[in-house]
Structure 1
């Protein structure tokens, strides 16, 4: 499954006042793993940045003066996101601005014509009702490092949101066996420790009925929160096998 975590910065808050996008940042997830591929672009909005917006992201009119227009990067941007599931915090804001930019061009539809969308703000409000659910609050709640986030920035915020989203929808995504990671050489390659062939056979401890019920309940919650994208349930369906053995 391919997902794109996306964020934008803009000249102001309202497309009705013809505010424009000035920065787009996207990072790619495939099967819940960051691939290292990203899309990042500053954009000349052909208008002034509001003072209030500049206080949030720190992007000045002078900095944007020599940047490309949205029309010059639209095809490259669309090629990067097309067919993916977009993961966005407060999706109506970013999607509304992207649609606003697309409407100014010939031959472009709406974001939902090309992608499906997951709104992590809606997800967070469902999981943590009555609490703060902005990105900084979620970073604190899920122990995600946001120390570099003095100002908003589209690419940095997309990278941080990717970590938050992975924690919200299942937690740990990388598994290191053996309790410790060993490295050798300058490249940091992982060392493989082989077990002796005459080692005692490990006992097999099956889950109790109560543990199975708790496990299935957790998978059901993940399925609901992720909009039907629980990879464990999908894998079980693919091989037509139950999640646990009797």
Structure 2
């Protein structure tokens, strides 16, 4: 049976806007989705950037240099992160920004960069679907009725969770993963059937029931007419 596609929705927080000028990634949050359905698996970490935190950046995400000084450096968790990402496509909002910082950290840690071919940019998807509209994560949450009342400041895991919901709406809506298919026998995490696969009745030893009639009998129709006739001042009689 074909497996559904695994994707990782992720977001980062940083010290600034450009890794080429010394800015660093200080937080990453990742959400696993299979067939556009969240599995409940996630990866979240803060990183010590070994540098100061500009006031403007701290104002956005609330992460101070003092808080981050107690966190591990990216290189210490790089393998754990790469294991979680696997070879899945990586979905981010304005993904070029997040990929730039992620690959910069991987390079500093002596790891190979992640191919840009794996990048899925929800801003690009939203631009095609809603040309001329506001494309921020907040704006898309408002458009799709996604609750973000708990988002006081930016946070990588929280924003990834919101983006996962936005991504579902951008790519077909909430029912995209509700295929009528057999569940895998071993309930393996990745063994999910494709959402559009034909549904087959599983084998069973229970006796087969004949289809129930769905046409009212003459007796039932007569009782219905008597019931309707007894309704005083019926709107259909005016």
Q: Which residue of 1 aligns with 2:115?
A: 112
1:200 deviates by 2.5
Q: Which residue of 2 aligns with 1:97?
A: 101
User: Is 1:8 the equivalent of 2:21?
Assistant: no
Kindly indicate whether structure 1 or structure 2 has the higher relative contact order, using CA contacts under 8 Å at least 6 residues apart.
2
SS state at 2:115 partner: helix
> Equivalent of 2:90, from 80, 86, 93?
86
SS state at 1:5 partner: strand
Any gaps of 5 or more consecutive residues in structure 2? 181-208, 216-238
After TM superposition, the score normalised by the length of structure 2 is: 0.72
Any gaps of 5 or more consecutive residues in structure 1? 178-195, 203-246
Q: Which residue of 2 aligns with 1:37?
A: 41
Q: Which residue of 1 aligns with 2:147?
A: 145
Deviations 1:34-93 (A, max 9, x none): 100000001000001111111110111111111000010001101111210111100110
Q: Which residue of 2 aligns with 1:170?
A: 172
SS state at 1:111 partner: coil
Say if 2:137 and 2:163, in contact at 8 Å, map to a contact too.
yes
1:201 deviates by 4.4
CA distance, structure 1, for counterparts of residue 137 and residue 169 of structure 2:
13
1:198 deviates by 6.5
CA distance, structure 2, for counterparts of residue 105 and residue 156 of structure 1:
26
Matches for 1:121-160 after TM superposition, within 5 Å: 121-160=123-162
1:199 deviates by 3.5
CA distance, structure 2, for counterparts of residue 81 and residue 198 of structure 1:
49
After TM superposition, the score normalised by the length of structure 1 is: 0.70
> Equivalent of 1:57, from 54, 58, 61?
61
Deviations 1:122-176 (A, max 9, x none): 111111111110000000011111111110000000000000000111112365x
Q: Which has the larger radius of gyration?
A: 2
